[in-house]
A and B are shown apart, each in its own frame.
Chain A
Amino acid sequence: MKGHRLRALVIKESRELIRDPITVALAVIMPLIMLFLFGYAVNLDVERVALGIYDLDNTPASRALTARFDSSRYFQLQQKSADLHDLDSAMQSSTIKMGVVIPAGFARQLLRDESAPVQVIVDGGYPVLARLASAYAEAVIGNFPAPRQAAIRVRARVWFNPSLRSVNFVVPGLFAVILMAFPPLLTALAIVREKETGTIEQIYASPVTSGEFIVGKLVPYGLVAFLEILMVIAVGFAWFQVPMTGSPALLLVSAFVYVLTTVGIGLLVSSLVRTQLAAMLITLIVTLMPSFLFSGFLFPLFTMPLGLQLYSRLFPAGDFMEISRGVVLKSAGLEAVMPHLVMLIIYTVLIFIFAAWRMRQKVV
């Protein structure tokens, strides 16, 4: 590597980037759009489940149970059905997700201190919701009319995200997804554009080495990506009010290493393909999709079959996901995140070696 050549490349690349306001604007706006979109859309909290009640008893007691459901924040009374058929069709048309049938004689059996049966019908079409809703329903019914004494009392305490707000878990996860999606998209176009216009032939036919060329691209695009990090993290904390329990410096340093990896992936794709369209599609497929599916962003990795767990190790998003959530939610320190950080560094080095090797200085 020669200093003056590298400097010339970095200056040229930065000038081109700065004079392309559309690209810069996209680099700033797209991650924010995604952050807002997913920050609001991905909500794993189950609340206000639409409820239908078929009350055959129709006594003060049965009405009190209905009111108990309705006043719970997990349920919302959608309709009172006149017969079972009505309940069935409401369930089919998804106007209700859960039906509660209170049989005749419910109040009488309660008064006699007998156990009174109540039927809860749940729409199993979306299993996670069904499981949560039926558990909530059991809790509501179990505490009616008054909480009962049990032999063993369980006192569960939630660590790290005591309010169980899913946004606290989604936003740090989004850092990993967004930084995997956009920085590589920008860089993937960087080399291919020169291939398409033909300017790359001048680079080939000059003393510039592939290492110099790659680093020359990396520096300005890496800086843009770092700006993206700062912006996404700042907005994530300020707007979504995610509590930051760990060290912001550790998060930033890890994010920087992570972005080098993702920018490197973009450069690698760019060095392999010939057209900007192909570069964009391939980048989306190798970055965005796995970072959603195989990073533990929404689906925990340990529940996957072993083969897929191994496959998920191919993508660095999972490592940064652990770091990000660890630092933000669990105030994880350097020691805790070290294994993941080392993985990211190894990953980055490999990507760059591969990209520089693939970036053969030949036309074909």
Chain B
Amino acid sequence: MPAAEPIVAEGLGRHFGDKIAIDPLDVSVDRGQRVGIVGADGAGKTTLLQMLAGILDPTEGECRVLGFDTRQGAKRIAARIGYMSQGFTLYDRLSVKENLTFAARIRDVPDKLYRERSEQLLSMAGLGRFTDRPAAKLSGGMRKKLSLCTNLVHEPELLILDEPGLGVDPLSRRHLWAMLDRFQAQGITTVVATSYMDEAERCDRILLLEQGRVLADGTLEELLRDVAGRVFTVHAENAGRGLRELSGILAKIESVHSVQWLPDHLRLVVKTDIAKNRLSESSPKSLHVAAVEPRLEDLFVLRTERMTGEQQFLELSRQDRGKGEGLGVNGLSVRFGHFKAVDRVSFDAPAGELLALLGPNGAGKTTLIRALCGLVAIDEGSARVAGLSPGAGSAALRRQIGYMSQRFSLYLELTPSENLRFFANAYGLAGGAARTAIDWARGVTGLTDLPDKLTRDLSNALRQRLALACSLLHRPRVLFLDEPTSGVDPVARYRFWRVIRELAASGMTVVVTTHYLEEAAYCDRLALMLDGRLLAHGGRASLNHSLGLDAGATVEALFTAAIEQAGTANSRALVP
């Protein structure tokens, strides 16, 4: 039988009711290729992959995978491919070995072959010592590696992976990619969805997906060629004042596409060359404009039709904040039964610091924040938040802190202004005081015109800023933001971080958790968490130095080095 093309899709599209998930597209993938599908949450990556795997029927067009039609031949395709979905793909109550055996048996792998392969796969994944451990007791990284094994045990011709790196620590992510590299060397074709730019850069070909449409398709070099000469950085001699003055100038230049506010410089993506000239003309001499190497994200930003330019926000002054203590955490532990969610964590963050709490899913970030907000009882150690110690139901503490949870806790059936009014009242603000607070919070977050529709109909980006506004109404001294940027496109994220930096500059202590490691670039100091423990804490430069890395090392490299230094921790510490 002549080898069929791994994937040939013609006019392949999918809608759910009125909502278009994938606009009809044509794609073909060559044997042995590794294709990265890159896009923000909600871009349609999962829908596309599910259609390729034959487990979701298209509503338009057709798709042939390994020569079989995905509608009629789904089971034939299933026997020949591996599909690793984004969520949990393992049975928690089964052991590592049992999960793998199950996967092999239902994929018709003969016993003899299974015995050979399982040993090889498990040792490659570093799971050889844990064959009897229930899947529920594996770390996030180990789970992902085992999932990959269950999808490789029948030696598929095509591997479809949905965000394999999501929620996985950097070291495990590196192992995962090493496994993929080995299988690609054997000629396996891979389609991988990712929101990590470094993962995309490991692909032979990149499909940039946004709202169900392909924005770009090509090799990394080809894609970056399009953005060349459109990305600039602006450094100021006086970083704080100098850059802020620039905001007004930028807002007037139409072809400025996006502005990323970093601690000591700005990063601009411009639409046309004119923008660059105008920038040089109109900016004061104290600013240094320089062209820089573009990144994939810049292309993403540029191809997005929404041109946002520079938006101006209400400027905050030091007077907006009372002076106060920031945050101090000393040997804090939180237990859930035998499970140590937070294990003896100590760090501090003085007033006005922007601290990034980094770590994969399940590292204990959310639990730590909830403990500091008094929402979870602290089992060991102590903490001071804005000069108070968090205890259950402490009303005084609640007046001093703002908390924006992972899934923005807005009332979806209320309009944005009703939400704001409700939260103002909930914080004890009424009448004129409430109106003043709402106007201020809207100014700070740039929510100048609020659409008069239900919150459920707003975009994620708008909901994100609304949730932030709601958590700011009572002007907290310490602000906790738990994964505020997940599900939001890069441009909206740039803008969000700008607001956060402004808040910190005004004296508010801000703690942000994120699993986008590159977002650490916005923050003053980093706290790296894994398996409930704090691996490292400090400024990026000093951490790089102490771990023996170059000054320009990525946060990814920094985190990996920190894990290696702490000793490969394969599982969470259990209370004996």
Contacts and interface: CB of A to CB of B under 8 A. Distances in A.
B150 interface: yes
Contact of A16 (B75, B93, B101): B93
A48 interface: no
Contact of A201 (B74, B75, B89): B89
A19 interface: yes
Contacts of B57: 362, 364
Contacts of B103: 202, 206
A207 B79 contact: yes
B91 to A, nearest CB: 6
Given A9-B106, A205-B54, A364-B56, A199 B75 contact: no
A2 B106 CA distance: 9
A156 interface: no
Contacts of B89: 198-199, 201-202
Interface string B312-337: 00000000000000000000000000
A219 to B, nearest CB: 15
B236 to A, nearest CB: 48
Contacts of B98: 12, 15
Nearest to A11: B102
Most-contacted residue by chain A among B75, B79, B83 (CB, 10 A): B75
Interface string B421-445: 0000000000000000000000000
B398 interface: no
A81 to B, nearest CB: 58
B108 A198 contact: no
B545 interface: no
Contacts of A202: 83, 85, 89, 103, 150
B182 interface: no
A363 interface: yes
B90 interface: yes
Contacts of A9: 106
Given A362-B56, A362-B57, A19 B101 contact: no
A20 interface: yes
Contacts of B94: 12, 15-16
Contact of B105 (A7, A198, A209): A7
B156 to A, nearest CB: 10
A201 B50 CA distance: 9
Given A7-B105, A209-B75, A197 B55 contact: no
Interface in B38-75: 50, 53-57, 74-75
A2 B55 contact: no
Contacts of B16: 364
Contacts of B75: 207, 209, 361
Contacts of B55: 201, 204-205, 361-363
B93 A15 contact: yes
Interface residues of A, number: 28
A338 B93 CA distance: 43
A209 B107 CA distance: 11
B88 A199 contact: yes
Contact of B107 (A197, A201, A207, A362): A207
A4 interface: yes
Contacts of A363: 50, 55-56
Contacts of A15: 93-94, 98
A20 B93 CA distance: 8
B53 A205 contact: yes
How big is chain B's contact interface, by range? 20 to 34
Contacts of A361: 55, 74-75
B535 interface: no
Given A205-B54, A361-B55, A198 B85 contact: yes
B87 A12 contact: no
Given A19-B93, A363-B50, A5 B78 contact: no
A301 interface: no
A4 B108 contact: yes
Interface in A33-86: none
Contact of A205 (B83, B88, B90, B91): B83
A9 B101 CA distance: 11
B102 A198 contact: no
A254 B569 CA distance: 56
B81 interface: yes
Contacts of B150: 202
A8 interface: yes
Contacts of A5: 105-106, 108
A208 interface: yes
Contacts of B85: 198, 201-202, 205
A7 B106 CA distance: 9
Most-contacted residue by chain B among A5, A9, A205 (CB, 10 A): A205
A82 B101 CA distance: 84
B78 A4 contact: no
Contacts of B108: 2, 4-5, 207
B50 A197 contact: no
B78 A204 contact: yes
A207 B78 contact: yes
Nearest to A208: B106
B86 to A, nearest CB: 8
A11 B88 CA distance: 20
Contacts of B79: 206-207
A204 B56 CA distance: 10
Interface in A190-215: 197-199, 201-209
Interface string A1-30: 010110111011001100110000000000
B106 to A, nearest CB: 5
A199 B136 CA distance: 13
Most-contacted residue by chain B among A197, A199, A206 (CB, 10 A): A206
Contact of B102 (A12, A197, A204, A209): A12
Interface string B522-565: 00000000000000000000000000000000000000000000
Contacts of B101: 8
Contacts of A209: 75
Given A20-B93, A198-B87, A8 B102 contact: yes
Interface in A165-197: 197
Contacts of A203: 106
Contacts of A198: 85-89
A199 B86 CA distance: 10
Nearest to A5: B106
A202 B75 CA distance: 12
A261 to B, nearest CB: 27
Most-contacted residue by chain B among A9, A198, A203 (CB, 10 A): A198
B78 A16 contact: no
Contacts of B74: 361-362
Contacts of B86: 198
A75 B57 CA distance: 71
A363 B103 CA distance: 19
A362 B85 CA distance: 14
B402 to A, nearest CB: 32
Contacts of B106: 5, 8-9, 203, 206-208
A204 B75 CA distance: 8
5 contacts: A12-B102, A16-B93, A205-B85, A361-B55, A363-B50
Top 5 nearest A-B pairs by Cβ distance? A8-B105, A198-B87, A205-B83, A204-B55, A19-B93
Interface of A: 2, 4-5, 7-9, 11-12, 15-16, 19-20, 197-199, 201-209, 361-364
Given A4-B105, A9-B106, A198-B88, 8 more contacts: A2-B108, A7-B105, A16-B93, A19-B93, A201-B55, A201-B87, A204-B78, A206-B106
Interface of B: 16, 50, 53-57, 74-75, 78-79, 81, 83, 85-94, 98, 101-103, 105-108, 134, 150
